[in-house]
Every structure is written in C-alpha cells, then in structure tokens.
Amino acid sequence: MANSIAIGIDLGTVYSCVSVFQNGKLEIISNEQGNRTTPSCVEFTNNERLIGDAARSQISINSKNTIFGFKRLIGHKFDDATVQADMKHWPFKVINDRGKPKIQVEYKNQMKLFTSEELSSMILANMKNIAEIYLGKNVSEAVLTVPAHFNYSQRQAIKDAGTIAGLNVLRVLDESTAAGIAYGFDKRMSDERNVLVFDLGGSNVNVTILKIEEDIFKVKSTAGSTHVGGEDFVNRMVEYFAQEFKCKYNKDLQGNKRTLRRLHTACECAKLTLSSSCKASIEIDSLHEDIDFYSTITRHCFEELNIDLFHSILELIEKALRDARVNKANIDDIVLVGGSTRIPKVQQLLQDFFNGKQLNKLMNPDEAIAYGAAVQAAILTDNQSEAIKNVLLLDVAPFSLGIETVNGVMTTLIKSNTEIPTEETQTFSLTSFPKSQSGIIIKVFEGENPITKDNHLLDNFEFSGMLLNSDDGLEIEITFDIDAKNILTILVSDKTSGKEKRMTFTNKSEHLSKDEIQRMIVDAKIYKKEDEIQRNRIRVKNSFESHCFNMKAKINDKNLKDQINVYDKKKMIDAIDNILTWSETNQFAEQEEFENKQNDVETLFRIEGFEDIPLLSLENAVKHLENIIPNVRRNAWIAKERSIVVADGITQDESAAIQLYTMEWKPSDQSFYIHINTALRESNRDRLTPFLYYLKLVLTALWKLPSIKTTVWSDVKGDLSIQYPIGKEFVWWGFSSCTKSRRFLEQEEFLGKTGVRILFRIECETGKSIRAHSYSKTESEILLFPATRMRVINQMDSNDDAVVIQLQEIKSPFLLLQSPFM
C-alpha cells in the first residue's frame, strides 16, 4: 500500500479538481487543455460523449443533451422542492423514475436515462484519467470530498459514483474539512489555533471550525446548506433580466429553455465582472424572436437580489460556532474557499460579522479542497513522507443519529458534531417500537428535529425472535457505532434471550442496488472504450489533415520550384484538395477510412523530407534529448577546434558533427547513447519528424564510436512472404553505413516473432560519399539515413537457415530536402 499513489478529487457542482501528494509536495494536476479545474459537465451527441471543457463549450449549441449541475440531485426525490426549483433553470429533461429524478438525453440516436450517481462517475473517471496521464501509471484509489451537510444517503451515493468510475474510495471527506487540512498543512502551526473555514462554491455553502495544533486537525463542528451558492446567485439574475425582458417587449422567456441558458451564460459573466467592477453589461444578440437584448446591472442591484441568501450564510456561521462552543472572538483565522467567496458583499458580511477581522485569502479558493483531499489520500495509503507522517485528522459526525420511538419521537443516540470514531448504547423497552408478526421494527433516522417525520430515514430493519407476548418488562439494548470512515454499524441485543443482530448501513432503500452498480460499471467500461475509439479516430483525422496541409505547403515552397515541374505540382495539389474535400464532407468517417486516405496522399511522395533544423538551436525540441544536447554541442566544438580544415560549403553545425565523427572519442555520459536509441525507437514517427535532421547529424558523428548501435528494426509478424512481398515499398527507419567499396549493406540478423532469422541486404546509391569529410581523406563511405524509401526486390534463403530480404533504395523524384552528404 505504501508504494501506491492515491489522489484527492474535489467533485464540485460546477468545476472539479484533482490533486496528488508525491515527492513530499502537493500538486494540482492540469487537464489536457492546461486548466487546473475541469467543468463538471457531460455532453452526449449522436457520435460521441464529451466531458469537461469540451462539453461546457456546447451548452448553448446542444443544450438538451449537455448536462451539468447534476450533483444537486444526489440524495433527493423527484418531488423535492429543491429538485423542482432546479428543473426550471435546466435546459435538459429530468423525469420521474419511481420517485427518483433521472436525466434523459439522446445519445447515438437512442434515448437514455442517467442517474446523478452515474453522471458523477463520468466526471470522476475523467479526473482519474487526467491524473493517470500526468502520473504515467494506473490510479485506483482516491479520497473524494462532499459538502459538509451531505447525509449518509448522499455520501453513499458519492461512494457508488467512485466505484462505478473504477476507484476504491478510501474516504469521503467534508469539503471544508479538506480545505482546513490544506491550510494547516501549508502554515505548519506550532501553537493551537481555532480556524473557521468558509466554503462558498457553485451550489452549496459549508462552514467548518477546526482546532489545529502542529499536525493534529480536530474538527469541532460543521454546518452547511445545499442550495446557497454561485448558481443560485446567477439564477436570481436570470429571473431579474427575464422579467425586465418581459416588461420591455411583452415576451415571456420562461418557456424557452435554450434562451434562458444563453441568458444564464451572460449572467455568469456579469457576476464575475461584478466582483471587480461596480457595473456589468448584458449584451445578447437575437435573444428571443430576433430581439437583441442589452442591459446593465450594478453591484448594488446584484447584492439586493441575493441579500436573503447572503444573510443565510451568517446563520450557518452562528450555528457552527454554537455547536463548537467557540466564541467568534476566539476564532484566530478565517479561511475563504470556493469561487463565490470572491464576491465583495460576501467578504464584507464576513468581516463585519467578525468585527473587522482580516480574512485569509492566500489559498487558491478553487484548489484548496483538492489539496486537502490529496493530503488525506497520502495518509491513508501510508505515505512515509516526513511532511505528513504525523498528520492526524479527528473528524465529527455531521448529523445526529437516532431511532424512532413511541409517537414518532426521535430518540438520539449520537449527537451531531460528536467526534468520531464513537460508540453509544441505550436500553429500550419493547413497547417503544411498532411490532411485526415475528418481532419489532426499528427505524433509524438522521437529523436534528425532535419528530422523525422531519428527519431523514436511513433504513429500517426487523429484529425477531423475542417473546413478544410476555410482560412488557422485556428490554433490548441498541448500540450505534461510527468508525473513522463515518460508517454506521448498529447492534441490537435481546437482554433476555441473548439474541443479537448487527447491521452496517448502506441505506438500501435509496441507494443503487448491487445489480444497478454492476450494470453501471459495465456501461462505464463500454463508454470508456467508445471514447478511446473516438479519440483515436479524431487523432488520425487531425494527423491526416495536418499531413495534407504540410504536403501542400512543401509543394508550394519556392525553393523546390526547380525540382517539381508544373504539371506534377498541379496534379499533386489537385489530388490533395480532392482528399481534403472528402474529409470536409465525411467528418465522422471511421478511423480506417482516414488511414486509407492518408496512404493515398503518401503515394504521391516517395520520401518524407527532413526538417532543416540547426543542431545548435534544438535544446528544447526533443524531451528525450534535452539533457544531453549541451554535452553534444560542447564536445562537437572541442572536436572542431582540434580538427583539420574541412571541405568548403559545410555549415558550422555540420562541421562540428563531422569532426566529432572522426575522433576516437567516447562521451563520459553513457546515457547519451540510451537517449539516442530511445529517440529512434519512438513509435510515433510524427514526433520524430522535427528532429530527424538533428539525429542524422549526431548519428553520423557517432557511427564509429564504440558501444553505439543505431540500427532499429521493425517488428516482424506473420508470414514473411506477406509482410515483405517482392515489389513492396516501405520507409526504412534505421541508420546504416558501409565502405563505398561494398555495394550492399549487409545488416545484422534479426529474430522476428515468427522465430525466423532475417537478414536485410540493402542495395544503396553509391553517390552518398563522405570522403571529403573523412579524417584520413581517403576513406569513402555510403550512408543510409532514417526515413529512406525502400523496395523489396528479392527474397532468398541463406546457407545458415536465415531468410535474406534484399532491399533497394528508391531515389525519389520529389526529394523535398537534399541531405548535405548527398
């Protein structure tokens, strides 16, 4: 476990963020677009599924199938007032499926229903993938964060989402607690301090009070609300401007969800502007029925629209202080977390409430929660770093837990904000519970109300086997046990018979069943496979189109006007234009079709040209080689200074490389050879193209040096007569050299996967002489460079049971860049 890497994920309503603790430090992992946070947004189309930035950009275009804000549905029933209120602002369809809200989309021409757990799992799987790309290894464990006021049902739903995403969820951590850990980890406090973490995000507000001393984080209390956040502030603005539009033009926008989404997007921008300016503009062309809508809103107006929500925040802070039994004057630090804490009015209210105390804004409010989750993930995987070795988190139960007794009374066993792990036991008379045919029914609730109907039912179970008809003196003992992971286990004991029943709560009545979770796991794997196929298809398509445009640019290069006649030039350009036209009208063609079209383009050219990049300016061109280029350059110049005068017309870079070639010198850095060979074995040849010229020079310089082996063989599979039939043409990626006195380059034997030994014999052009560059000035050599076009001219058996494949170098009529050695 100590060698595994676990990540921390802040699964936000609007944006999500992933972090990792490694090498003694915390890192936020950027996504493929380079952004440190990723929109919690999923789009479904007829061809693909998009997640994150790509999906968010399509909200206005494909509003019915671009899903966001689904975290607000977790743990709620369809008829809940909050769900009905949210549905008014969403352009996509939410339906009632046996009391549960599910989102309906059209995906690949089929109607599909998704739960909030399943959609959340897609975001988590995407964050997992972002981490795996960065870390270069599989990630299977994570700590996930939730709003502090999430109940057991909602926390289990997040765990289910993690399971569907392929994650082992080590812990579900309160968001504000995670932010507190990040703050304490950064500050390293030696004295005891009371820290209030105020987290105002996209859809919820959390308040946590912690006592932090050195590496011990003790949660004193938590409080929160699910429907106070940035989205709610924006929705108030949308309603305001929709009413203004109705007054101006007598047109009601409420029935047009796509129009409301465009207005919502404009209001989001205005909200951000108002954090730094006193006024913001709304400008939307053809908002509704070709009517352009232009308006403004002041910061004061925005504050008045949301004043009740802002003040409700202070009520939560007061509750957290009461539960922690801490006076506000004893709060040492107030830490702001969540993007909506940037709102000036929020900061003013907080500062006024704490009598002018300075607010701590040093942490990035968008990233602090993920940082804390990553610290906890590292602790739970036994990371031995000195930085976290002694960190201890003492958390609390977010809600009171109890059972229903006579007349629907909530009898509490564990009070909210009790430090966990904890265990409480109470004894009850059988008359306290309703009876079934074989026993009694025990109903377990969470919540703060004295009557159970106003609290949340976790589950109920039957305890049977008692003597129900005996006198009422019989008693049972009920124990509630909460472990460090906040998992509740209940033990019921009949004191008379000694019968016991134990139950660990997974809230079966509301959570996904095991069969549903398994089905979603299978579906997630299918979606992932489909996404990979789509990504590969797009990669091949983009590579194909880029190749076409590059070829056109090279053909039109004025430096090649003497090498390509007008007729051939027009023929090639027309052919490429026709292929590009096909691509434009077949955007969703299969990967194989694009590959075939690229092969059609390549038949127009016999050789791919080298890019003429000077050796001495490539420090950052190739990641594999960036550490060794200074070594090459230094020794090349040493060689040049010691050398005799070389032939005229040779560039400075070439001269240095050639002189290095002629010296009996071996670099002290043995990794030099490793990097050279690593580059030559790069499977993505597109990545090699920019520095083939550089490799050519370096390999020429190194060819005679000891311990260097530069020829790279392609893997041979299947029947050789099929793989290398006579007449087949292909690109040779090796680097070879022999004296000019030999007409053939006989390469070393190679053992293919068929078990057959293969000897390549290459018939070369004899004009590639470097005689003028040789140290002795008498030696002539033939050079065969990477990316040389070959044709199979014969196959034969040798005397030692090897197959000899005879190749002939093809001199291309459209050689795009002449080698300086030719």
Q: Which residues are catalytic?
A: 10, 71, 175, 199
User: Which structure tokens are listed for 675?
Assistant: 């990097």
Rounded Cα distance between 708 and 695, Å, is 14
Q: Are 337 and 177 in contact (CB under 8 A)?
A: no
Please confirm whether the linkage preceding 421 is cis (ω < 30° from 0): yes
Residue 676 to residue 679: CA distance in whole angstroms: 5
Helix (H) or strand (E) holding 423: strand 422-429
Q: Is 181:387 a contact under the CB 8 Å cutoff?
A: no
User: Read out DSSP for 191-220?
Assistant: S-EEEEEEEE-SS-EEEEEEEEETTEEEEE
Q: What is d(CA 346, CA 348) in angstroms, rounded to the nearest whole number?
A: 5
Q: What angle do CA 715, 745, 681 make, to 5 degrees?
A: 30
Q: How far is CA 228 from CA 150, 271, 508, 814, in A?
A: 14, 15, 29, 67
CB atoms within 10 A of CB 247: 9
- Say whether 71 sits in a helix, a strand or coil: helix
- What's at 669, amino acid-wise? D
Q: How far apart are CA 556 and CA 573, in angstroms?
A: 9
Q: How far apart are CA 660 and CA 487, in angstroms?
A: 68
Q: Beta strands 475-482 and 38-39: pairing type?
A: unpaired
CA atoms within 13 A on the CB side of 425: 7
Distances (CA, A) of 99 to 104, 594, 716: 15, 47, 59
Rounded Cα distance between 159 and 144, Å, is 8
Q: Residue 751 corresponds to which amino acid?
A: L
What whole-number distance in Å separates Cα of residue 275 and Cα of residue 339?
11
> Residue 142 forms beta bridges with which residues?
7, 169
